Amino acid sequence: MDGEAAARVSVEINFPNGGVFGREEILLIDAIRAQRSIIGASRALGLSYRKCWLVVDALNRTFESTVIATYPGRRGSGAEITAFGERLVALYQSIERHAGASAEKSLAEVTASLDWNFDPKARSVVAGRDLA
């Protein structure tokens, strides 16, 4: 066995209203927090501004409360995470921790059966999207 990292659970929440919240949204929120703008976050993540803006828009429409406040035209501070957005991130991280803890034994069994010659590039084709 040549892999030292443990398997981990990654959670994607699919809400009954059609909204989605997962790792991709967390990465964008973290980048917006650091860059204080959507365009800065898009550059930091290497994604198009449009894609980032569409994710922000979807997040803000998924919930009754705003997740990311935007200030168009405001130099240097075009966006910030709201208190609700910070709570949403904390709740997501809690769900992810609980899911990982409850799956620990099963993950160990599955990990023991891994083929360490697997080419991870095939993952994005199989999954239909690239999460890297």
Mean pLDDT of 29-52: 95
Q: Indicate whether 71 belongs to any domain.
A: yes
pLDDT at residue number 4: 59
- Count of domains for the chain: 1
Range(s) of the domain holding residue 103 = 20-114
Per-residue model confidence as pLDDT tens digits over 103-116: 999 999 999 998 88
The pTM (predicted TM-score) of the whole model is 0.79
Q: Which two tokens stand for residue 18?
A: 């059609």
Q: What confidence category does residue 68 fall into, taking pLDDT thresholds of 50, 70 and 90?
A: very high
70/78 Cα distance (integer angstroms): 6
45: part of which helix (H) or strand (E)? Answer: helix 38-45
Q: Indicate whether 110 belongs to any domain.
A: yes
92/101 Cα distance (integer angstroms): 14
CATH code, 39: 1.10.10.10
Q: Indicate whether 9 belongs to any domain.
A: no
pLDDT at residue number 66: 97
Per-residue model confidence as pLDDT tens digits over 43-58: 999 999 999 999 999 9
Q: Indicate whether 122 belongs to any domain.
A: no
